[in-house]
Chain A
Amino acid sequence: MGYGYVGKILLVDLTISEILVEKPAEEFYRQYLGGPGIGLYYLLKNSRHNIDPQGPYNTMVFAPGLLTGTNAPSVPRYTVLAKSPLTGALGKSEAGGWWGPELKRAGFDAIVIKGRAPRPVYLWIKDGEAEIKDASHLWGLETGETQETIRRELGDDKIQVAQIGPAGENMVRYANLCNNLAHFNGRNGLGAVMGSKKLKAIAVRGKRPVEVKDRAVVTDVLRWVARQSKIHPLSAALHEHGTPMGIAGNNAGGVLPTNNWDTGFFNQAADIGAEKLNEKYLVKRGGCFSCPIMCKRVVEVKDDELTVDRKYGGPEYEALAVLGSNCGIANLKLLLKANELCNRYGLDTITLGMSISFAMKCYEEGIIDKTQTEDIELRFGNEKCLLPLIEKIARRDGIGDILADGTKAAAAKFGRKSEQFLLEVKGQEVPMHDPRVKSGVGFQYALAVNGADHWFAQHDPFFTSVDSLGVKATSSIGLGEPVDAEDLGHRKVRQVLYTSYLNGVYDMLGVCVFGYVARSITPLNKLLTTVTAVTGWETTWWELLKAGERFLAMAKEYNACQGLTIADDRLPEKFHTPIRGGPQDGKPGLDREKFNEAVKLFYEMAGWDAGTSRPRAAKLYELGLDWLVDKKRLKNF
């Protein structure tokens, strides 16, 4: 029995209905911590090369963070990992809510799932025991009904359910997972992997608290965060307005993606922002296990036209932008309904919105027409097409079947040079942040191991001046010098590298970026105090950042085994061309050559070989990953 970690990993083989328990030693947890550290260990130990993402050899791991389930503040998260059917690279997505903590309380640090069930099943884990149960009566149900049915048939309304909706069952390549109907492992199509395994849900119930070494110290940190969260502007803003606050600012700055990124200024941005949301439809501010920030939106609509059920939570900035301005749609009520459908069917809002906007662009350009869209007028701003399209995509019906594979596959089917309208990296569509004003975000999109991702590292605006919160907060790990938001040089590369290690550690610990620096309030020294108080380890930020580096190296190795190379670490062409329209009209794109040189520099700094796109042997040895060194290729060691 450990502190923070439990000491047990559940191994499930769905093909032969076998369940085993592995009990790693403490050293294992000190190396891999939790979350994607543990996840990649099992992914790499099981099968590695050129896996079929929808086949039985695509090992899938659910791993809460090392601190998840303790009373530490804002650490509710768990990571789900497998090969992504959307990108063909590592799929890795975190979610908050309550499922991760419950799994730890039920007695497991992770679940490793292999094979494929012969018919729909769900996993039931309770107080250290696990069984595979029939789910044929659940197959086809939306997320709300599934959760309700499972809780009812197992006789406990406190059961936490991680599940896929109909979109995952239909293997939509960007199907997501959810817990508590409003917390999502959103990106990379991990819901489709679960669907391919005929695994509908994992139900968990655990009554044993997660043990910590020094509870009083952890409680102290929790109290500090609870007090500060109401005072500090970053956390207060997250609570008051949530991420939708980004709509107004990004629009004013001319970087709110509009009409498939044709421009960055949307005339009706005020109609879809936080102020409107708060005024008309917000009914509650929700949160996650042990988090005082409570940044989640809970919305409700009840009128003759539309109803939106509050149990499905509410939209983030990404959903409002990608389905709103990015599709030319200004009807907030409709966007809330669209968000609800995504949550009921289990669809990643970002790839969904980008797939719709891409189809709209192709339609506007005459590349596709009504005969291919079942008469739906796919024009920017056409509100009538939004909900029917989401239904079609979730069910893989008609045009929905094409769009269900994402924009890259759709472009291959549409042909006629439609690929010029793509905005994806490694096959995953970019989120709603424009790299032309934040080069670090551009590096994140290009370098993130799981495709275009806006939390691979930290965001540039927090590091641009000596007064910046990020600069002050991370000076202790060597980032005390400000770097210009559009810098493409070595200082920016270092900033992205170090903050990618930091974010890696965050994921391995179960930390939510909305509770910790630089995006929010809890400083690094308090997190270190918490790790020591939970585990009893006399650890340091050196050791923790090395763990983050370890995760990154493992991810890189995994991707190389799937055939990815440095050529995949590039930006869509749009971001090398000027911004069009709005207050920053004409602002140049990121210099292509400098950007690509910087990517190469990142590899060198990280200790990765650009020729093989894998970590060098020396780096693997340094990180204690000797088991990943391909001795057949080595000459000198």
Chain B
Amino acid sequence: MVRINLHSILKEYCPNKDGCVLIEYKEDLTVKKVLEVLNLNEIAGLALVNGKVVKTDFNVNENDSIELFPIFGGG
């Protein structure tokens, strides 16, 4: 399994109130694919895997922990 924590407004897209989602690990799972599964590829702006900032082509492994934050600019 891969654990994903959704932050800020992304929590609204979470079936659980605590903003935490578990998805099954598959081979060649990238952050981009995770975003597609969760339907967040338009509005997720930052991804951290095990505490490190990564790009969407990053390969996710079994038991990895992912933090997702919404896209942000300006203000």
In the complex, what distance in Å separates the CA atom of A584 from the CA atom of B42? 23
Instruction: Collect the chain B residues with CB atoms within 8 Å of residue A248's CB.
Output: 7-8, 69
Q: Please state if A316 and B8 are interface contacts (CB–CB under 8 Å).
A: no
Q: Please state if B72 and A468 are interface contacts (CB–CB under 8 Å).
A: no
Q: Please state if A274 and B73 are interface contacts (CB–CB under 8 Å).
A: no
Q: Please state if B48 and A583 are interface contacts (CB–CB under 8 Å).
A: yes
Q: Please state if B9 and A245 are interface contacts (CB–CB under 8 Å).
A: yes
Q: Please state if B69 and A252 are interface contacts (CB–CB under 8 Å).
A: yes
Q: Please state if A246 and B53 are interface contacts (CB–CB under 8 Å).
A: no
In the complex, what distance in Å separates the CA atom of A253 from the CA atom of B72? 11
In the complex, what distance in Å separates the CA atom of A460 from the CA atom of B12? 24
Say if the beta carbon of A260 comes within 8 Å of chain B. Answer: no
Residue of A nearest to B40 (CB): A233
State which residues 24-72 of B face A: CB under 8 Å: 32, 41-43, 45-46, 48, 51-53, 56, 67, 69-72
Q: Please state if A461 and B71 are interface contacts (CB–CB under 8 Å).
A: yes
Q: Please state if A469 and B73 are interface contacts (CB–CB under 8 Å).
A: no
Q: Please state if A519 and B73 are interface contacts (CB–CB under 8 Å).
A: yes
Instruction: Collect the chain A residues with CB atoms within 8 Å of residue B71's CB.
Output: 234, 461-462, 469
Residue of A nearest to B75 (CB): A243
Residue of A nearest to B32 (CB): A465
Instruction: Collect the chain B residues with CB atoms within 8 Å of residue A241's CB.
Output: 8-9
Q: Please state if B8 and A455 are interface contacts (CB–CB under 8 Å).
A: no
Task: Knowing A236-B9, A246-B75, A583-B51, say if A252 contacts B70 (CB, 8 Å).
Answer: no
State which residues 240-254 of A face B: CB under 8 Å: 240-246, 248-250, 252-254
Say if the beta carbon of A528 comes within 8 Å of chain B. Answer: no
State which residues 290-318 of A face B: CB under 8 Å: 316-318
Q: Please state if A253 and B43 are interface contacts (CB–CB under 8 Å).
A: no
Q: Please state if B43 and A233 are interface contacts (CB–CB under 8 Å).
A: yes
Task: Knowing A233-B43, A584-B53, say if A249 contacts B75 (CB, 8 Å).
Answer: no
In the complex, what distance in Å separates the CA atom of A383 from the CA atom of B64? 39
Bitwise interface map of A from 45 to 72 toward B, beta carbon under 8 Å scored 1, else 0: 0000000000000000000000000000
| Max chain A C-beta neighbours (<10 A), residue from B32, B56, B69 | B69
Q: Please state if B70 and A233 are interface contacts (CB–CB under 8 Å).
A: yes
- Which of A249, A433, A468 meets B69, CB within 8 Å? A249
Task: Knowing A233-B9, A253-B53, A254-B53, say if A461 contacts B43 (CB, 8 Å).
Answer: no
Say if the beta carbon of B74 comes within 8 Å of chain A. Answer: yes
In the complex, what distance in Å separates the CA atom of A571 from the CA atom of B70? 27
Q: Please state if B9 and A237 are interface contacts (CB–CB under 8 Å).
A: yes
Residue of A nearest to B57 (CB): A465
Q: Please state if A249 and B42 are interface contacts (CB–CB under 8 Å).
A: no
- Which of B9, B42, B67 meets A468, CB within 8 Å? B42
In the complex, what distance in Å separates the CA atom of A460 from the CA atom of B74? 11
Q: Please state if A469 and B42 are interface contacts (CB–CB under 8 Å).
A: yes
Residue of B nearest to A518 (CB): B73
Say if the beta carbon of A467 comes within 8 Å of chain B. Answer: yes
In the complex, what distance in Å separates the CA atom of A468 from the CA atom of B70? 12
Say if the beta carbon of A9 comes within 8 Å of chain B. Answer: no
Q: Please state if B8 and A249 are interface contacts (CB–CB under 8 Å).
A: yes
Task: Knowing A246-B75, A253-B53, A454-B74, say if A467 contacts B41 (CB, 8 Å).
Answer: yes
In the complex, what distance in Å separates the CA atom of A462 from the CA atom of B73? 8
- Which of A252, A467, A513 meets B46, CB within 8 Å? A252
Q: Please state if A583 and B9 are interface contacts (CB–CB under 8 Å).
A: no
Instruction: Collect the chain A residues with CB atoms within 8 Å of residue B42's CB.
Output: 233, 467-469
Q: Please state if A249 and B73 are interface contacts (CB–CB under 8 Å).
A: no
Say if the beta carbon of A614 comes within 8 Å of chain B. Answer: no
Q: Please state if B51 and A249 are interface contacts (CB–CB under 8 Å).
A: no
Instruction: Collect the chain A residues with CB atoms within 8 Å of residue B12's CB.
Output: 233, 236
Q: Please state if B53 and A245 are interface contacts (CB–CB under 8 Å).
A: no
Say if the beta carbon of A546 comes within 8 Å of chain B. Answer: no
In the complex, what distance in Å separates the CA atom of A254 from the CA atom of B46? 11
Q: Please state if B48 and A252 are interface contacts (CB–CB under 8 Å).
A: yes
Say if the beta carbon of A198 comes within 8 Å of chain B. Answer: no
Shortest distance from the beta carbon of A515 to any chain B beta carbon, whole Å: 12
Q: Please state if B8 and A245 are interface contacts (CB–CB under 8 Å).
A: yes
Shortest distance from the beta carbon of B71 to any chain A beta carbon, whole Å: 5
Instruction: Collect the chain A residues with CB atoms within 8 Å of residue B67's CB.
Output: 252
- Which of B8, B32, B51, B74 meets A519, CB within 8 Å? B74
In the complex, what distance in Å separates the CA atom of A511 from the CA atom of B48? 34
Say if the beta carbon of A83 comes within 8 Å of chain B. Answer: no
Task: Show 20 A/B contacts (Cβ-Cβ < 8 Å), sorted by A.
Answer: A233-B9, A233-B43, A234-B43, A234-B71, A236-B9, A237-B8, A243-B75, A244-B75, A245-B9, A245-B70, A248-B69, A252-B7, A252-B69, A454-B74, A459-B73, A462-B73, A465-B41, A469-B71, A513-B74, A584-B53
A241-B9, A243-B75, A465-B41 given. 10 additional CB < 8 A pairs?
A: A233-B12, A240-B9, A248-B69, A254-B53, A455-B74, A461-B71, A469-B71, A513-B74, A514-B74, A584-B53
A-B pairs, 9 with minimum CB distance: A243-B75, A459-B73, A249-B69, A317-B75, A237-B9, A467-B41, A246-B72, A233-B43, A253-B46
